[in-house]
């Protein structure tokens, strides 16, 4: 089982721990059912495990090459703080409390929201924070993100 899960290629952008854990639990459950259920043959367990591994491989390849499928499976990062201002609507939609946001800011060595250029809730559930001094004032990525946010709101 371990060799099979390591051999299956993963998308670089995907959160690896939850997907691997889910696959491992499904594999163990299917093999256990094959060992203790009415069909106790080796072939039954092998077919169940192979089916899950093939499905995982197909989903990983499709989500790696298709942007819409990747967004459907993985989700999108959500901006929580922009230019020192908390975006309440995004926080409510993502069910993130102010306490959770302040805890993430403290983990990054930031004492308050006014010191944050960007705080993003990533697809794996972590919160990434960038201070103003970590972003160049003329950085095209920050300006492009600002235009996107203004259009979206």
pLDDT digits (tens, 9 = 90+) for 62-113: 877 878 877 777 778 889 998 889 999 998 888 889 999 999 999 998 988 8
Please tell me the predicted confidence (pLDDT) of residue 15.
45
Residues 27-37 have pLDDT tens digits of: 888 888 777 77
Q: Are 47 and 65 in contact (CB under 8 A)?
A: no
Q: Where are the domains of the chain?
A: 2-73, 76-152
Residue 16 has pLDDT above 70, yes or no: no
At residue 74, the 3 state secondary structure works out as: helix
Question: Which CATH number among 3.40.1280.10, 3.30.240.20, 1.20.200.10, 2.60.40.10 corresponds to the domain 76-152?
Answer: 3.30.240.20
Q: In this predicted model, which residue has the larger pLDDT, 40 or 10?
A: 40
For the chain, report the end-to-end CA distance as a whole number of angstroms: 46
Please tell me the predicted confidence (pLDDT) of residue 145.
54
**Tokens encoding 74:** 């993985």
């Amino acid at each position: 089982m371990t060799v099979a899960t390591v051999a299956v290629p993963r998308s670089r952008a995907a959160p690896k721990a939850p997907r691997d854990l889910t696959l491992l639990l499904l594999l163990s459950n299917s093999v256990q059912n094959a060992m203790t259920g009415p069909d106790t043959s080796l072939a039954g367990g092998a077919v169940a495990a192979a089916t899950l591994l093939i499905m995982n491989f197909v989903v990983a390849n499709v989500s790696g090459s298709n942007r819409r499928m990747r967004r459907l499976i993985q989700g999108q990062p959500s901006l929580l703080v922009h230019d020192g201002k908390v975006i309440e609507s995004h926080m409510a939609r993502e069910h993130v409390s102010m306490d959770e946001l302040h805890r993430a800011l403290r983990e990054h060595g930031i004492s308050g929201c006014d010191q944050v250029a960007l705080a993003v809730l990533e697809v794996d559930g972590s919160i990434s924070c960038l201070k103003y001094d970590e972003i160049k004032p003329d950085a095209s990525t920050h300006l492009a993100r600002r235009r996107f946010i203004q259009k979206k709101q």
